[in-house]
Chain A
Amino acid sequence: MELKINGEIRNVDVEDNMPLLWVLRDELNMTGTKYGCGVSACGACTVQIDGVATRTCTLPASAAVGKEIKTIEGVAEAGQLSAIQKAWIEHQVPQCGYCQSGMIMAAEALLDSNPNPTDEDIDKSMTNICRCGTYQRIRSAIHTAAKWRAEETTLQG
């Protein structure tokens, strides 16, 4: 099947029902997206599909055909970190770091749809598990990134 990942067309020969996660990790060796639970409960495997944060450990790869798949590897553009990635560094968010690809993909989708989220908005859309408990710093980093993105927009406008 043909998948469009981070703007590139990739052809893979897999069963229709193979979860997208395992196409990414084991067929394409794109290991930034993580396996955590296999039942869409933890969010470590989150990518964006047509801009929507989506858990891929239960999503059949065939369901992503014809759509824009964006993974953590596609977030930095031309080596330039996104505002969210920079904010993650600014707030020193990651500890073990294993959940952070999924967290960042969820946060990117949140800010794309809601440029200035409240704490309640963050509670509602950031539902992934971080076993190291970095939630507080993730919240702060999202607010910082929202501010930076607004400033960028103002400058460009």
Chain B
Amino acid sequence: MGKWTRRAFIAGGGLAGVGLIVGIGGNMYVNNAIKKYSGKGMGDGASINAWVRIAPDNTITMAVPRSEMGQGVYTSLPMLLAEELEVDMNQIKIMHPQPESPYANTLFLDPNPRRAYASYSVMEKVASFLPVVGTGGSTSVKDLYDHLREMGATARAALIAAAAEKWDVPAADCYAESAHVINKKTKEKLSYGSLAEAASKVELDFDPPLKAQKDFKLLGKRIQRLDIPEKVTGTAEFGIDARPKGMLVAAIRHASYVGGTVNGVDNEEEVMQMKGVKKVVLLENGLGAAVVADNTWRAKNAAMALDFDETANTLENISSTDISKMLNDIVGDDTKMIGKPEMHGDANTVLNDDAKAVEASYEVPYLAHCTMEPLNCTMVINEDKAEVWVGHQGGSSVRDAVNAVTGIAKENIHVNILYLGGGFGRRIEVDFIKKAAMVAKQMPGVPIQLTFSREEDMKNGMYRPAVASKFRGSVGGDGMIDAWENKIALQSVSNSFMKRLMPAMVEPPEKDPQTAEGAVELPYGRNNVSVQFGQLDLPAIQVGNWRSVGASQNGFFSESFMDEMAHAAGQDPYEFRKKHIQKSDLPDAPRYLAVLNKVADMASWATPLPEGKYRGIAILKSFGSIVGQVAEITKTADKQISIDKVYCVIDCGRIVNPDTIEAQMQSGIIYGLTAALYGEITLDNGQVVQQNFPQYEMVRMNTAPTVAVHIMEVDEYPGGVGEPGTPPAAPALTNAIFAATGERVRSLPLNKLGYTFV
């Protein structure tokens, strides 16, 4: 069942001017689902879905169904296909297809990547059937590493078979190179374009083998990104740059209180008189109001002039200090611990018996994503059809959201995914899609671009939750950790997120796997471990996936407390970690050790630094990749720090594009440091305090460290790279600050503790 047919399809008829389309037939189950969607995959009226389209002029178009948000998928995914298809990178054009079944991200429902020529698991079939097409969780390469190569290899084999038949020679006498099939003996060449039609009729009776790593021409090489030329000329089209004919723009204003409702607008007539204003729309469910106008600035001014009748609802008297108290109450109360993701040995008894047990309470605040491109969505709604232009991480979620608001059939909703000016987990949400749909459906036939001002974007976040983490640890007589206890309190991200996106699949908070990411399965071979968590129930504050999710805070907590244990044991933080990893029986322990040793070596850990300079170390695995970092800082004055350099080593298994991996490490580190230095969303009596960058500062050129990256060469299935660089950044820095000042940083951001950065 579910056997691949390994048949290359072609659809030529009725495609005047389009050329030939070579697609790859998939699992029968998926094929049936494809038929449901009339095969809009690569557009142009093709009757089947496809990953590859080969035109008679040898133009090769690839469907890239993952969103380009800076992480380089518009290059790394084509590399996977091109490697096996034997085409050059400059021979590939890419297009973003409709969110159809063949493009499902199966890792969203089944954490194990589907290997080449394997059958689909039940959950992968569900992902394809729904379909769930999205970009997140550092999954793009992991999900498609085998699949795209399999697609390329199958197409290549069919093209070679077609050429062999034409020349009447065995297929073994032919090979493919640069989009041509070449006859080894006669040196004759046929272009893929000229073979595509014949190739479509070939039925392969074998699984074309994938290339050995030693034969790779592209994978593992520094390949220039395909999207960069248009990003240096201002021509790259982001969601906010969509300009469909006849478009009007809209600005939104939400309730003043988080979770508040807007019941009405008292001065609509007055606002309608303002220049350029076309319409005032009160959003459904009290979500706010929007003003449609002919210019975004006019729309924003008008939205600001709206006089709201609003209700605060549940949070009116709640401030961040109250939330902090609630979190600390939870970690202090064993009966509140609903999840026990790692329990072995008897940590409690060991800790109770140890008069010298180390105790430490950590806490981090809510964080906003702050994508550079403020949230926006452009949409036109006709009676039974909709078209959307948006930078979004999940095409299928966009379609579902428009369907939910308008009732328009999903197959009549066309989704154009444009470049994302940053995603980081914010653009997998659909709040801004739904709001755009609510406005657009009030003006049928008129394309409406709804843009959140920076202020509306920041105060309507799907924040990284505020989190408390309370540790106890005990060092045994052998200088090794004997017991480790960690109690965590937060709002469950999975629970909050799934309620918004896939209510039918919501799991209770105690089953949230993300809550403990970075807190469990640490490679330290400890005898007695207890990691538990409790849930803060505060539904009015919606929490979301923020680059590296649970690991973003747990990495800081775990790797800081590991440093505390090293200090308690009177040992060097690197040597202490090394000894513990050597004792660990995790299958990955040797990989951790190699990363740790390499980063210590890069940073010349054994060599003392000049006076005034200090360093800290941290290591964490997340999203399938192990990342170790050493931060090197200078104490320039009392509580004044310069972050000079970060050494970073990643083991992400097989390497696709090393330049992208390096860039993602640099990026993830700056993202983590911005949070550590400045990041904080606070509530003051139900209202978000931070409105714009002046209250939510970022690491900039003058405060950014130099980052030196080393990528381990490890022949294992690939891990992710978009997120794993972020979690170790904060603890590497704060461990360095401890070395510099003796102050153990147990809460972030650092500027709130009086630190400044130069």
Contact = CB atoms under 8 A, between A and B. Distances in A.
B234 A136 contact: no
B422 A35 contact: no
B698 A89 contact: no
A75 interface: yes
B669 A98 contact: no
Nearest to A57: B297
Contacts, number: 179
Interface in A30-86: 31-39, 41-42, 44, 71-73, 75-76, 81, 85
Contacts of B228: 88-89, 92-94, 97
Given A41-B694, A96-B420, A31 B241 contact: yes
B372 A36 contact: yes
Given A15-B275, A29-B243, A136 B666 contact: yes
Given A31-B241, A31-B243, A135 B670 contact: yes
Interface stretch (B157-165, B169-177, B470-478, B701-709): B701-709
Contacts of A95: 70-72, 663, 667
Nearest to A33: B234
B590 interface: no
A32 B227 contact: no
Contact of B666 (A22, A101, A131, A133): A133
Contacts of A128: 700-701
A81 B232 contact: yes
Given A27-B295, A88-B228, A133-B704, A35 B698 contact: no
Contact of A133 (B241, B659, B670): B670
A14 B276 CA distance: 10
A25 B699 CA distance: 28
B419 interface: yes
A126 interface: yes
Contact of A104 (B232, B295, B372): B232
A26 interface: yes
A143 interface: no
A122 B225 CA distance: 25
B704 A88 contact: no
B69 interface: yes
B372 A130 contact: yes
A129 B232 contact: no
A13 B448 CA distance: 22
A131 B422 contact: yes
B249 A26 contact: yes
B396 to A, nearest CB: 22
A97 B667 CA distance: 13
Nearest to B668: A133
Given A96-B69, A134-B667, A32 B422 contact: no
Nearest to A15: B275
A35 B701 contact: no
A72 B424 CA distance: 26
Interface string B416-436: 000111111000000000000
B374 to A, nearest CB: 7
Nearest to B673: A133
B667 A133 contact: yes
A57 B237 CA distance: 20
B701 A97 contact: no
Given A89-B224, A89-B229, A18 B297 contact: yes
Contact of A97 (B240, B298, B419): B419
A123 interface: yes
A3 interface: no
A127 B700 contact: yes
B238 A98 contact: yes
Nearest to A131: B372
Interface in B218-273: 224-225, 227-229, 231-238, 240-241, 243, 249
B371 A101 contact: no
Contacts of B422: 96, 98, 131-132
Given A32-B234, A135-B699, 20 more contacts: A18-B295, A27-B295, A29-B243, A71-B234, A72-B234, A85-B232, A92-B224, A92-B228, A94-B228, A96-B422, A98-B371, A98-B419, A128-B701, A131-B370, A131-B371, A131-B422, A131-B698, A132-B372, A133-B667, A136-B707
Interface of B: 68-72, 224-225, 227-229, 231-238, 240-241, 243, 249, 275, 294-298, 300, 370-374, 419-424, 451, 453-455, 659, 663, 666-671, 674, 692-694, 698-702, 704, 706-707
18 contacts: A18-B297, A25-B296, A26-B295, A41-B694, A95-B667, A96-B419, A96-B420, A97-B231, A122-B701, A129-B698, A131-B371, A131-B422, A131-B671, A132-B670, A132-B671, A133-B699, A134-B667, A138-B701
Cβ-closest 4 pairs across A and B: A32-B234, A133-B670, A98-B421, A95-B70
